[in-house]
Amino acid sequence: MKRPPALQPGGFLCRYRLIFLPFLFLHKSGLYSQKSDICIVVSILKRIVMKMKMQIQQQIAKPVHEVFNAIVDQTQLSGYFTIDGKGKMEEGKTITWRWEDYDGSIDIHVKRVETDKFISFNWSGSGSETTVEIHFEEHDGITTAKIREYGWDKDDNGIARLVEQTQGWTQMLCCLKAYLEYDINLRTIKHKENA
């Protein structure tokens, strides 16, 4: 008999068994009958699964306006992350991102833009529709860009997509930092003036 995905190696219950199984054993053996504590453990496990979101951040030694524009302005974005960018991210607008090393293109449905503060959009960059939020904060000429993405299915495939997207957004922020601080395009290893 095949195990359900949650019980297969790497499945949800297998990954969190160290938290859950001691309570289950004590309860089943009659040594511990506090159902409220088991409910708390189940609640904690549900919260772990329900928070299918990733968040990363990067400090960039540039003013917030430069960092914000390097993402919103598709011409600048194509200088370090995508290719063939045109136009700007504006609320309600759909733009298309393409990459040299990625077969195909992805539509970005811009939801909200607050100049120098916030960008949010929906896309299917990981194969399922998710929401991306980018927050900007500047302190003493250094800008922190925080990217949060959420909305994956709460299963093993969703977890895999979350990990892939974390890697992708980390690369994007590293490329942004290199582009703005050092005039280098890490995706093609070219200086801006030679591109």
| Domain positions in the chain | 52-182
Identify the band that residue 117 occupies on the pLDDT scale cut at 50, 70 and 90: very high
Pair 114, 96: CB distance under 8 Å: no
Regarding pTM above 0.85, the answer is no
CATH class of 52-182: alpha beta
- Tell which residue, 194, 191, 185, 170, has the closest CA to residue 70: 185
> Above 80 in pLDDT, residue 166?
yes
Q: Which amino acid is at 92?
A: G
**Rounded mean pLDDT of 148-168?**
90
The number of CA neighbours under 13 Å toward the Cβ of 56 is 14
> What is the tens place of the pLDDT at every residue in 5-29?
555 555 555 555 444 555 555 555 5
pLDDT at 82: 92
Q: Name which of 100, 83, 66, 87 is nearest 183 in CA terms.
A: 66
pLDDT of 156 reads: 85
* Highest averaged pLDDT of the listed ranges 14-28, 42-56, 133-147: 133-147
Instruction: Say how far apart CA 119 and CA 76 lie, in whole Å.
Output: 16
Exposed, middle or buried: residue 51 (CB in 10 Å: 0-12, 13-18, 19+)?
exposed
Structure tokens, 159:
């977890």
- The one-letter amino acid code at 133 reads E
Least confident of 41-45, 62-66, 90-94: 41-45
pLDDT band of residue 47 (cuts 50, 70, 90) is low
